Amino acid sequence: MPRSVYDAVLVTLVGLLVGSVIWTVSAVAYDDPAAGWSMSNPVCPEEGIRVTAGPVNPALGLRAMDLTLVNCGTRAYRVQGYPEIRLYDQDQQRLTGVTVVHGSGGIATVTGFDDPPGPVTLAPGETASAGLLWRNTTTGLDGPTSVPYLTVAARSGSLQLLLKPDGGLDLGTTGRLGVGPWRTTGGTR
């Protein structure tokens, strides 16, 4: 199959996977308000939102995962832009050497991933999603980067919600993670 056809098929499949499903709740490590983290579980945190991570969708070295933001509070919740992502190792120490970029950052071409963000206002019970995108390519002598934990702040200044995605993020040696903007999903919970 010619490379351009292969790329088009791959991009279409990843786009469908990233955009079509609201994923299940992943395990949460613990609640540590002193560290500025809160657990994201079925109980609604004080801020009135809950963030969950879906499973990792692998596709020939390209990986994608959805984050789902649920307004579990009693008032409208507004976000604009991108979720703030921080990556942590097995000992829950912040990882260095990984660049988190807004949009695809040249990782892959995925429909809608590089569209400019707009305001998203969620009524109680409504959901939004944002995608994560990376490659697990391993080159050179450095070992691959594994990310078992990440924190997600829905917007600047909001509480960091600690997530442990099933299987973690296997970033290989690429050192890049693309983050898509928040988008309404049309769903309610």
* Confidence class for position 12, pLDDT limits 50, 70, 90: very low
Give me the pLDDT at residue 93, please.
93
Pair of tokens at residue 81: 């832009």
Instruction: Indicate which CATH number applies to the domain containing 162.
Output: 2.60.40.10
Q: Which helix (H) or strand (E) holds 66?
A: strand 62-71
pLDDT of residue 41: 53
pLDDT at 16: 35
pLDDT of residue 69: 96
Q: At 67, is the secondary structure helix, strand, or coil? A: strand
Q: Could you count the other beta carbons within 10 Å of the beta carbon of residue 61?
A: 15
What's the pLDDT score for residue 91?
A: 93
pLDDT of 160-187, one tens digit each? 999 999 888 988 888 899 999 999 987 6
3-class DSSP state of 43: coil
Count of domains for the chain: 1
What are φ and ψ of residue 165, in 5° steps?
A: -60, 140
Residue 70: pLDDT above 90? yes
DSSP category for residue 94: B
> How far is it, in rounded angstroms, from Cα 184 to Cα 189?
13
Domain that holds residue 83: 3-188
